[in-house]
Amino acid sequence: MNQLEYLKLLKLARTALEEYKNWDEEELVIDNSMMQNNTEQKKVEPNVEKINKEEINNLEKQEEAIDTITKNVQTKNAEQKLEDLKKQIIGCKKCDLGKYRLNAVFGSGDAYADIMFIGEGPGFQEDHKGQPFIGKAGDLLTKIIIAMGFTRETVYIANIVKCHPMKNPQEPELKSNDRPPTIEEMQVCQPYLDEQIKIIKPKVIVTLGASSTRALLKTDEVISSLRGKFTTYLAIPLMPTYHPAALLRNPKLKKDVWIDMQKVMALVKKKG
Ligand code: SF4
């Protein structure tokens, strides 16, 4: 190798070394850049999490607000529907009972009750107060409801007829003037009860006594053979049982009523 060839070889080697050096530095730059990006990503990630948490919190708050609004609207709907129906009943004169009553007795309780108790019609005291099931029979019904784990405010109580059937309609102030409603009176008034049931949509209906049970089930059977067995009305389970007034006359029947109510409680629990 002469001196010229040696210098050419040395130049090539130097160029290769420079290229290698540049390539290495470039790679180093890329690596640093990647590391920097990774670091930046790591720095950014907590912010993303923070934003996500804030968004989730906001969404949860929005969902809660929507739930509250929906519940209020639903509550207003059922309560408003019952109020609208009540106005119709207060002005109703579809049968003669409307001519002599002191007060129409619409019903009382929770518009979204799980259980709806249905009696035959208002008596003397209910007519005077405009409330269903008051007096001694009403007090006993209240005790039964409480024993079941509810209150009068958390169930719904109504009657087949909304006006007081009287033996002598000219004497609304006369005690012991009560009588059961006739089949015709119940037939005329029953659409109001049906509407109440459709609005409230209870999980279980409990009919109290022979009149209300027979009216809804369209049967002539005696209450002693109907009670304790579930049937349905408007596609809702219905449990017939004795009227609280019957329990006052014959306390031995309380045991049967409690057996019936335990079945009702079990079904309500099962339906959630
Ligand atoms: S008993 Fe019923 S149908 Fe008859 S007047 Fe009263 S609300 Fe109307």
- The ranges assigned to domains in the chain are 82-270
Report yes or no: 250 and 137 within 8 Å, Cβ to Cβ: no
Residues 210-236 have a mean pLDDT of: 97
Q: Is 198 helix (H, G, I), strand (E, B) or coil?
A: helix
CA of residue 121 to ligand 1 center, whole Å: 10
Tokens 């609207």 label which residue? 73
Query: What tens digit of pLDDT does each residue of 167-177 get?
Result: 999 888 888 89
Task: Give the pLDDT of residue 31.
Answer: 43
The tokens for 167 are: 């033996």
Q: Which CATH number fits domain 82-270: 3.40.470.10, 1.10.3720.10, 3.30.390.50, 3.30.540.10?
A: 3.40.470.10
- Cβ neighbours for 222, distance < 8 A, ≥ 6 positions apart: 210
Q: Is the pLDDT of residue 24 over 70?
A: no
Sign of CA dihedral 47, 48, 52, 58: positive
Note the pLDDT tens digit of each residue in 123-137. 999 999 999 999 999
Residue 178 DSSP label? B
The candidate with the shortest Cα–Cα distance to 222, out of 211, 230, 232, is 211
Q: Where does ligand 1 bind, in terms of residues with CB under 6 Å? A: 89, 92-95, 97-98, 104, 161-163, 185, 188-189
Tell me the one-letter amino acid at 16.
A
* Token pair of 180 as six digits: 């059961």
Distance in Å, CA 171 to ligand 1 centroid: 18
What DSSP designation does 251 have? Answer: G
pLDDT tens across 37-56, in order?
Answer: 444 444 445 455 555 667 66
Nearest CA to ligand 1 atom 4: 95
Claim: this prediction has a pTM higher than 0.85:
no
pLDDT for residue 34: 43
For atom 3 of ligand 1, which residue has the closest CA? 189
